[in-house]
Amino acid sequence: MLDVGANVNPKAEQLFQYGLMGEIYARLMFNKPKPTIGLMNVGSEEGKGNELVKQTQSLFNNSPLRANYLGNIEGRDIHQGVADVIVTDGFVGNVVLKVCEGLFDFMIKMVAQELNETLVSEKDLAKKAIHTLISRYDYSAFGGAPLLGIDGICIISHGSSGERAISNALALAAKLARAGINSQIVQELDQIPSLLGAGSSGA
């Protein structure tokens, strides 16, 4: 998902750039040959949303990314895997991110409480399963998220990151450097100057 808080008031051209950067990231880092792109909106129908979203729709529909572009997606589509890349402004993206964090924490606590009060002989197995689930989605397993579009490599980590998270963040930074993601972003942005105005200004 781009953006999750870096720019809360972007222009349509910048949202388009987010889609391009996310598409490149998914190709290089997740080995997806043709990543799909969805634009976060209040409805999936064409014509929905504010002026910023409508302008961004037009950019995608008239760009080389139109074959990858799925159109509008809604919040409920995020965890369904509807799109590989989700484009939104930093205000909405940050709210979505923190709602997801809070919901996961709430659900885990409710499930753990229910199992603890219900199970007897299988209580230890239930605790082990919950611990495995938490570990799988723990932020420290990923280290952080890359801040794309800058001249360099920056990984944004959680404020309470420990040794494991920092180690994984450094590993991610090294992987990004080896993949040459910045040069790829600049190169592909420069190929569509008519849509982006300033060419590679976003990378």
CATH number at 121 reads 3.40.718.10
1 lies in some domain: no
How many Cβ atoms sit within 10 Å of the Cβ of residue 155? 19
* R_g of the chain, CA atoms, integer Å: 19
Cβ proximity of 33 and 67 under 8 Å: no
Number of domains in the chain: 1
C-alpha to C-alpha distance for 153 and 184, rounded to whole angstroms = 13
pTM: 0.86
pLDDT of 201 reads 41
Most confident option among 17-31, 139-153, 189-203? 17-31
Q: Which pLDDT band, with edges at 50, 70 and 90, does 193 fall under? A: low
Residue for token pair 């930074």: 173
**Tokens found for residue 123:** 């209580």
The answer as to whether 201 is a domain residue is no
181/142 Cα distance (integer angstroms): 18
Q: At residue 119, does pLDDT exceed 90?
A: no
Place of tokens 């080896």: 178
Residue 202 pLDDT > 50: no
Q: Provide the CA 135 distance to its chain's centre, in angstroms.
A: 20
